[in-house]
Amino acid sequence: MAKSLPVSPLASPLPTLGVVPGVRLGAVEAGIRYKGRTDLVVAEFDAGTTVAGVFTRSKCPGAPVDWCRTALKGGVARALVVNAGNANVFTGKAGIETCRVTAEAEAELAGCPSSEVFLASTGVIGEVLPTGKITAALPGLHASLTENGWEAAARGIMTTDTFPKAAVKKTEIGGVPVVIQGIAKGSGMIAPDMATMLSFVATDAALPASVLQALLSEGTGSSFNAVTVDSDTSTSDMVLLFATGKAENPAINGVDDPALASFRTALNELLLDLALMVVRDGEGATKQIRIRVTGATSDKSARVIARAIADSPLVKTAVAGEDANWGRVVMAVGKCGEPADRDRLAVSIGGVTIACEGTVVDGYDETPVVAHMKGQEIDIDVDLGLGEGKATMWTCDLTHGYIDINGSYRS
Amino acid sequence: MAKSLPVSPLASPLPTLGVVPGVRLGAVEAGIRYKGRTDLVVAEFDAGTTVAGVFTRSKCPGAPVDWCRTALKGGVARALVVNAGNANVFTGKAGIETCRVTAEAEAELAGCPSSEVFLASTGVIGEVLPTGKITAALPGLHASLTENGWEAAARGIMTTDTFPKAAVKKTEIGGVPVVIQGIAKGSGMIAPDMATMLSFVATDAALPASVLQALLSEGTGSSFNAVTVDSDTSTSDMVLLFATGKAENPAINGVDDPALASFRTALNELLLDLALMVVRDGEGATKQIRIRVTGATSDKSARVIARAIADSPLVKTAVAGEDANWGRVVMAVGKCGEPADRDRLAVSIGGVTIACEGTVVDGYDETPVVAHMKGQEIDIDVDLGLGEGKATMWTCDLTHGYIDINGSYRS
């Protein structure tokens, strides 16, 4: 992990980040695992901040995930502590103790109960996290927090990421301007159903925790839970959404309040932006792939099919080789066990229909498809011709870079 | 596909093959796709040969799979025609017609109804198979068939295989010696539930088709359906088992007849031998991996967990890198949704317990595990500590070779 990776050819530039009133953050070099870079991030929130969270569905989650699930019940957040380089997973009682000690140390600095401190860790599994390095670094970091610390935070949570990931949206609630700003990390061990990575989003909107949770759960379904890099669901990952209330927008009357329309759209766009940055930094990725499935017997079935295509090593290596090997798409549709009728199936790549009704189209000219395959954003569309179910999923190609990164991660 | 691949470092030597009385076979260069090698294989069976088959569960199977499923209803086989280089999948009406014409041409040569001719194809999906090249080559091939054609047949069905695969077992039924001999091909698009590849096995035993089918279905469960190379289930794959009856063993009284004990064991061993050869020729494989899961809530649950580990790109790249990264095994256990309790989980590699009860063992010494990881056969054992369910699955590592082969397969 000492060697730095070349930046993804799909890297997105860091947008110009603003502040989210009520949020101060920063990063420091705590020396947990990496040398010569920041690896500990803290965010502190003004009193009155509500919080929502979505977590990995792994049956073997890390201790910080357990901690956050408990803390989330209060619906209130005053601080967030994140470290990179060690995931604090499968660390037994020591891992639980690390969470308690870290949260208490931060709680004292932030002046809040430890149950209002949220924790996240990312990195190697199965090594005890050196709590002392964190508690030693926290006071200095606390003293340095600033409203302008977003870029530092985005950089401090990176592991195999090759570029920092952040997004910002300006919107309104009831005519009052509000901002939503977030950061994310992740490039491997990425798969739907809250695998994916860490992402922390904050807004100055005033929203009850229950509304915030409903919006976040809805938004992650078509963003973080619709991307996959390698089908491997992490033990650690989470998206947290904090709302400081500083915008002083009018009170919201439940999640279906029409006044939330713009905010909901902006939040969903921001979550998708962040999720796609994770795909675009997929380990070894050289191409982003969008898979749209239509005509399935249900949305759920379409989602299973889209994921089977997105996770197929043969589809992903074909894209890496710029090979419009649509036969592998047919294979992936067939393998996942969902209702499909070979003789009604249609496959398009780059908007060009290649096959329909069980065979290649008459006079199929590969030229425009070959040209599309040379681009960085590949579109694969499958229509099953059976019903109205549809789903979209995003992934990246599978290249030598993935093998390079993951064949020697710990060394 | 023109360039030949380096032979797998895990290649098994071809055993000394005998004959199976009642079976004559051979191979010829039909020029379907490859140049300078055989690509069309025929086997003919004496009258009275029974047959059993197990097929891909793909919802988009190739036309030859449909053909064989229908032919199998008769329980009788007189010929088998296999081509390599073109899978005759997703070829619509043309593909169905290819099957009909091929079977009729072979039936005329073998002197049987076309419904007693079995067909298999392997190779690229979505291109029409040039039937004329097959029918033109069949008469000459028919004239050259020999009881000693097994090695030629094993070579003629290869695609990205780097070595020919065959196995032979001598056994007995009711004191009468019988032989079982088989060939297989496959090295990518390999996953359980009859993906896997093509395999054709023959015996001179006299067994009714119903008994043969029961034995084959049972034997593939712990062999061909317990191996995975890349999680990608093929549209084409099948195992066919032919019994010529030439051994004239005593009649069998159903599949539970004690006289079948030795035969059953020998068949199961032979099927596992062939299946492991496929793993050992997994595209780019440098290591064979055996995953044993115990202590699951059921055998079915154990199987899902074993497969999640076997299919995890992160586990497979770690093995490729000779990295005893057991944390990724924990991740894979967690991701598959089956019952698991982090705090009861134990993980061993190479027989050394690394972690148990939710954390690494006290004083864990990585040295013997590091040594084990440098070998060619890697053993990963997971105990869930929940029940009696167990399963074993085999796979190979994920290397640059896989990317090389599959990023340029059609070019």
Quote the domain boundaries for residue A329: 288-406
Does the beta-carbon distance from B406 to A60 stay under 8 Å?
Answer: no
Residues A236, A105 within the same domain: yes
Please report whether residue A14 resides in a domain: no
Alpha-carbon distance B382 to B240, whole Å? 33
Does the beta-carbon distance from B232 to A407 stay under 8 Å?
Answer: no
Q: Beta strands A40-45 and A79-86: pairing type?
A: antiparallel
Please report whether residue A171 resides in a domain: yes
Please name every residue paired with B45 in a beta bridge, in sequence order, or none if there are none: B23
Highest mean predicted confidence (pLDDT) among A99-103, A186-190, A332-336: A99-103
Task: Confirm if B71 and B111 have CB atoms less than 8 A apart.
Answer: no
Taking CA–CA distances from A234, the nearest residue in chain B reads B331
Domain count across chain B: 2
Separation in Å, CA of B99 to nearest CA in chain A: 15
pLDDT band at residue A168 under the 50/70/90 scheme: very high
The pLDDT of A63-70, averaged and rounded, is 94
Alpha-carbon distance B66 to A359, whole Å? 16
**CATH code, domain carrying A367:** 3.10.20.340
A196: annotated active-site residue: yes
> Of A126, A341, A408, which has the smallest distance from its Cβ to B327's Cβ?
A126
Alpha-carbon distance B143 to B139, whole Å? 6
Please name every residue paired with A83 in a beta bridge, in sequence order, or none if there are none: A40, A121
Please report whether residue A354 resides in a domain: yes
- What pLDDT does A195 receive? 33
Q: Beta strands B79-86 and B40-45: pairing type?
A: antiparallel
Residues in chain A with CB shorter than 8 Å from the CB of B359 are 90-95, 126
Please report whether residue A322 resides in a domain: yes
Residues B133, B227 within the same domain: yes
Alpha-carbon distance A289 to B199, whole Å? 35
Residues A330, A399 within the same domain: yes
How does pLDDT run along chain B (411 residues), one tens digit per residue? 335 678 888 888 999 999 999 999 999 999 998 889 999 999 999 999 999 998 888 888 889 999 999 999 999 999 999 999 888 888 888 999 999 999 999 999 999 999 999 999 988 888 889 999 999 999 999 999 999 999 999 999 998 888 999 999 999 999 999 999 999 998 766 544 333 478 888 899 999 999 898 888 888 887 877 777 666 666 777 889 999 999 999 999 999 999 999 999 999 999 999 988 988 888 888 999 999 999 999 999 999 999 999 988 889 999 999 998 888 898 889 888 899 998 899 999 999 999 998 888 988 999 999 999 999 999 999 999 999 999 999 999 998 888 887 776 444
Please report whether residue B15 resides in a domain: no
> Of B235, B325, B407, which has the smallest distance from its Cβ to A317's Cβ?
B407
Alpha-carbon distance A399 to A177, whole Å? 44
The residue among A247, A280, A313 that closes a domain is: A280
Task: Confirm if A99 and A119 have CB atoms less than 8 A apart.
Answer: yes
Please name every residue paired with A85 in a beta bridge, in sequence order, or none if there are none: A123
Task: Confirm if A63 and A19 have CB atoms less than 8 A apart.
Answer: no
Task: Confirm if A337 and A314 have CB atoms less than 8 A apart.
Answer: no
Pick the closest to residue B335 from B351, B350, B315 (CA basis): B315
Residues B210, B303 within the same domain: no
The residue among A280, A311, A343 that closes a domain is: A280
Q: In what order do the strands lie in the sheet with B50-55?
A: B50-55, B238-243, B198-203, B176-185, B165-173
Pick the closest to residue B171 from B243, B117, B122 (CA basis): B243
Q: Residue A280, SS3?
A: helix
Residues A60, A64, A65, A66, CA torsion sign: positive
Q: What does the block give as tokens for A56?
A: 């990995």
A-to-B residue pairs, Cβ atoms closer than 8 angstroms: 227
DSSP assignment, residue A319?
H
Residues B226, B320 within the same domain: no
Residues A84, A86, A92, A98, CA torsion sign: negative
Residues in chain B with CB shorter than 8 Å from the CB of A325 are 409-410
Q: Which of A196, A233, A235, A294 is catalytic?
A: A196
Residues in chain A with CB shorter than 8 Å from the CB of B330 are 60, 89-90, 125-126, 235
Residue A2 falls in which region: left (phi positive, over 0), alpha (psi -120 to 50) or beta: alpha
Q: What does the block give as tokens for A5?
A: 């990776």
Task: Kindly give, in sequence order, each residue whose CB lies less than 8 Å from that of residue B60, ignoring residues fewer than 6 positions away.
Answer: A330, A331, A333, A334, A340, A342, A345, B89, B90, B235
Alpha-carbon distance A172 to A260, whole Å? 8
pLDDT band at residue A342 under the 50/70/90 scheme: confident
- What pLDDT does A118 receive? 97
Per-chain mean pLDDT for chain A = 89
Residues A227, A335 within the same domain: no
Task: Confirm if A163 and A278 have CB atoms less than 8 A apart.
Answer: no
Residues in chain A with CB shorter than 8 Å from the CB of B321 are 406-409, 411
Pick the closest to residue A346 from A364, A362, A359, A328 (CA basis): A359
Alpha-carbon distance B228 to A12, whole Å? 36
Alpha-carbon distance B119 to B108, whole Å? 15
Please report whether residue B263 resides in a domain: yes
- What pLDDT does A89 receive? 84
Task: Confirm if A367 and A392 have CB atoms less than 8 A apart.
Answer: no
**How long is chain A?**
411
pLDDT tens string A195-241:
347 888 889 999 999 989 888 888 888 777 777 766 666 677 788 99
Residues A27, A133 within the same domain: yes
Residues A142, A210 within the same domain: yes
pLDDT tens string A238-284:
889 999 999 999 999 999 999 999 999 999 999 999 988 988 888 88
Task: Confirm if B50 and B76 have CB atoms less than 8 A apart.
Answer: yes
Task: Confirm if B277 and B88 have CB atoms less than 8 A apart.
Answer: no
Binding residues of A: 159, 185, 196, 283, 406, 411
The pLDDT of A313-319, averaged and rounded, is 91
Q: In what order do the strands lie in the sheet with B377-383?
A: B359-360, B352-356, B346-349, B377-383, B288-296, B389-396
- What pLDDT does B231 receive? 63
DSSP assignment, residue A361?
P
Pick the closest to residue A47 from A111, A115, A106, A142 (CA basis): A111
Does the beta-carbon distance from B124 to A95 stay under 8 Å?
Answer: no
Q: In what order do the strands lie in the sheet with A23-28?
A: A23-28, A40-45, A79-86, A117-124
Pick the closest to residue A40 from A96, A95, A100, A102 (CA basis): A102
Task: Confirm if B166 and B11 have CB atoms less than 8 A apart.
Answer: no
Residues B183, B122 within the same domain: yes
- The vertex-A268 CA angle with A262 and A273, nearest 5°, equals 125
Lowest-confidence segment of A57-66, A296-305, B363-372 by average pLDDT: A57-66
- H or E segment and range at residue A311: helix A299-311
Alpha-carbon distance A278 to A273, whole Å? 9
Alpha-carbon distance B118 to B67, whole Å? 7
Q: Residue B54, CB half-sphere, CA atoms under 13 Å: how many?
A: 25
Please name every residue paired with A346 in a beta bridge, in sequence order, or none if there are none: A383
Separation in Å, CA of A260 to nearest CA in chain B: 34
> Of A90, A234, A357, which has the smallest distance from its Cβ to B92's Cβ?
A357
Residues B156, B41 within the same domain: yes
Locate all alpha helices (DSSP H) within B248-311, ordered by sequence.
261-280, 299-311
Q: Which amino acid is at B366?
A: E
Please name every residue paired with A169 in a beta bridge, in sequence order, or none if there are none: A180
**CATH code, domain carrying B157:** 3.60.70.12
Task: Confirm if B236 and B121 have CB atoms less than 8 A apart.
Answer: yes
Please report whether residue A8 resides in a domain: no
Helix orientation angle between B209-221 and B261-280, rounded to the nearest 10 degrees: 50
Task: Kindly give, in sequence order, each residue whose CB lies less than 8 Å from that of residue A156, ignoring residues fewer than 6 positions away.
Answer: A27, A28, A38, A39, A40, A41, A82, A84
- B196 known ligand binder: yes
Task: Kindly give, in sequence order, each residue whose CB lies less than 8 Å from that of residue B178, ignoring residues fewer than 6 positions away.
Answer: B170, B171, B172, B203, B204, B205, B247, B249, B263
Q: What does the block give as tokens for A295?
A: 């005509």
Q: Residue A92, CB half-sphere, CA atoms under 13 Å: how many?
A: 14
- What pLDDT does A232 receive? 66
The residue among A280, A306, A339 that closes a domain is: A280
Residues in chain B with CB shorter than 8 Å from the CB of A403 are 317, 320, 398-400, 402-403
Locate all alpha helices (DSSP H) within A222-298, ordered by sequence.
261-280
**How long is chain B?**
411
Taking CA–CA distances from A124, the nearest residue in chain B reads B327
Taking CA–CA distances from A354, the nearest residue in chain B reads B126
Locate all alpha helices (DSSP H) within B59-166, ordered by sequence.
63-72, 92-110, 131-144, 150-156
Residues B272, B340 within the same domain: no
Q: Is pLDDT larger for residue A175 or for residue B401?
A: A175
Please report whether residue A122 resides in a domain: yes
pLDDT band at residue A193 under the 50/70/90 scheme: very low
Separation in Å, CA of B313 to nearest CA in chain A: 7
> Of A124, A312, A323, which has the smallest distance from its Cβ to B410's Cβ?
A323
Residues B82, B161 within the same domain: yes
